[in-house]
Amino acid sequence: MITDIFSSFDEQNLNFISFFLPIWTIGLIFIFFINFLYWWLPTRGLLFLGLFIGFIFQEVLRSFGKNLRGFSVLVPSLFFLLLMVNFLGLVPYVFGLTGHLVFTFSLGIPIWFSLLLSGLFFNSSVFFASFLPAGAPSILNPFLVVVETLSIMVRPVTLSVRLAANMGAGHIVIGLIGTYLSSGFFVYSLLALLVLLLVQISYFLFEFWVSLIQGYIFSLLVSLYADEHAH
């Protein structure tokens, strides 16, 4: 039971994942699943995940990121990481990492800054020219440069906050419904308990798809940011 609405942001709040042994165990499980790729025939689970990863790979091929070395591998791997972490956050007594800004900023800022530095060192003249839209009136040039600079600087914030806000809000709602459901066994009627249970199951399934969609949106935005890379 959470004591208040913000207790879900505390990773030490009766979370099973706060112990060291489960963290290492989950990490080794991921390595174990990755080794399945060396089988002659892949499992059905890997074939199912391959559909999503192949879809993300096709999105990268449609962007300029296909010309960046290793970018076509980075984005599908990032999507797979977010997918697994989002699904792990739905497990009871497991802290949802993507609902915390520390984790999302640690992903968003390095990727955004790497694309920025790559464009700067690849072609600095084109990089600085991208701060001023072509065909703009001369009197608006200083203002447009400031606006474009702010829009680029705010990208990692929007990228990270969007993921953390959506996942964190879902965890809070699931926790609150679970709190009322657990206490309702001693207070509410049978009909009210069935309604709460139906709401909990429905919202949990909804949050499952939110986890999938948020991983896709994060990966898609990273691919779109690569389109503005200096050619």
Would you say residue 87 has pLDDT above 80? yes
Which bin fits 216, alpha (ψ -120 to 50), beta or left (φ > 0)? alpha
Q: What was the pLDDT predicted at 28?
A: 57
Structure tokens at 197: 């249970």
Q: By percentage, how much of the chain surpasses pLDDT 90?
A: 0
Angle at 13 between CA 7 and CA 19, to 5 degrees: 150
Report which of 60, 61, 92 is spatially closest to residue 79, judged by C-alpha positions. Answer: 60
Distance CA 141, CA 54 (A): 42
Q: By percentage, how much of the chain surpasses pLDDT 70?
A: 77
Q: What was the pLDDT predicted at 231?
A: 66
The amino acid sitting at 145 is V
Q: What was the pLDDT predicted at 3?
A: 45
Would you say residue 212 has pLDDT above 80? yes
Residue 1 pLDDT level (bands cut at 50, 70, 90): very low
Say whether 70 sits in a helix, a strand or coil.
coil
Would you say residue 205 has pLDDT above 70? yes
Would you say residue 179 has pLDDT above 50? yes
